[in-house]
Amino acid sequence: MDLENLTSKVRDLTAEVVGFISTESLRFDSSKIELKGKSDLVSYVDRESEKKLVKGLSKLLPSAVFLTEEKTVQQGDGEYQWIIDPLDGTTNFVHGIPAYAISIALSRNNEMILGVVHEVTRKECFWAWKGGGAFLNEVRIHVSSISSMDESLFATGFPIQEFAKKESYMKIISQLIVDTHGLRRIGSAALDLAYVACGRTEGFFECNLNAWDVAAGTLIVQEAGGVVSDFSGGRNFLFGKEIVAGGTVHPDLVGVIQKYWF
């Protein structure tokens, strides 16, 4: 498989769907918002974007199956699987906050081999394929080389369900806001990972995420020279509902999390 060529075609497809999302953002009708949970929003834009992506990706790789957030296509297991979030940051989108993205990953036998995260409002496309490095538009990117926590800026997200460990989470946040340059809550895990990959932040952590939130971004971070793990430092970050990503400071960030989480 020519992963470089396939990645290029996926980028072209996401650019087309970004155009659709951008147009809809100008005339979005907030009365059409639906709730999957108290703080888990979905709209017709999510579903229509997903349908467009599935249609295009099916042409690029007809044998592949799908794992998608909005489940507009039958979900399946197979050698090749597209993992799609058609609009990561829906809450930002419906409130007019300009931080949301399309996230597409391709796995082969559960190993990520291609990832594209396309931020809609800034027209920034982050992408990587296995062994090919990571890029922002046409420029190769690398994770930050900053090695000290007190010089680091981190990103996180807040759980929207399953609040049993919120006190532990707040203790982690409390230490980080004292010991670092600060924390950012961007509202899109796909963008959080992309920003780690290009060195805008030194690290990112969050719990209660799904595979479609992080699949593409994790590969982009790794191809940019970064490290991705779960909270224990292990590799169960895709389906394990815990993720930590970073550059040189990754072990120190994991250490702070473990101090309060376990």
Q: What is the pLDDT of residue 84?
A: 98
- Compute how many other C-beta atoms are within 10 angstroms of the C-beta atom of residue 96: 9
CATH assignment of the domain containing 245? 3.40.190.80
Whether residue 34 is found in the same domain as residue 130: yes
Q: What is the pLDDT of residue 163?
A: 73
For residues 175-189, give the mean pLDDT.
97
Q: What is the pLDDT of residue 164?
A: 79
Whether residue 54 is found in the same domain as residue 30: yes
Residue that is last in its domain, among 140, 164, 188: 140
Whether residue 76 is found in the same domain as residue 136: yes
Lowest mean pLDDT among 29-38, 97-106, 247-256: 29-38
Q: 141: which 2 tokens?
A: 């990117």
Domain count, the chain: 2
Nearby residues of 179 by Cβ (< 8 Å), 6 or more positions away: 149, 150, 256
Whether residue 176 is found in the same domain as residue 126: no
Whether residue 30 is found in the same domain as residue 123: yes
Q: What is the pLDDT of residue 40?
A: 60
The answer on pLDDT for 67 being more than 90 is: yes
Whether residue 226 is found in the same domain as residue 119: no
For residues 33-43, give the mean pLDDT.
68
pLDDT band of 39, cuts 50, 70, 90 = low
pLDDT band of 43, cuts 50, 70, 90 = confident
Output 161 or 133, whichever has higher pLDDT.
133
The answer on pLDDT for 38 being more than 70 is: no
Whether residue 182 is found in the same domain as residue 113: no
For residues 154-159, give the mean pLDDT.
91
Whether residue 20 is found in the same domain as residue 135: yes
Expressed as residue numbers, the domain containing 253 is 149-261
CATH assignment of the domain containing 55? 3.30.540.10
Whether residue 126 is found in the same domain as residue 201: no
DSSP output for 205-245: EEES--HHHHHHHHHHHHHTT-EEE-TTSSSTTSSSSEEEE
Whether residue 155 is found in the same domain as residue 122: no
Whether residue 71 is found in the same domain as residue 168: no
pLDDT band of 60, cuts 50, 70, 90 = very high
Q: What is the pTM assigned to this prediction?
A: 0.95
The answer on pLDDT for 243 being more than 80 is: yes
Beta bridge partners of residue 135, listed in sequence order = 127, 140
Whether residue 13 is found in the same domain as residue 74: yes
- pLDDT averaged over every residue in the chain: 94
How far out from the chain centre does Cα 24 lie?
22
**Amino acid at the residue 197:** A
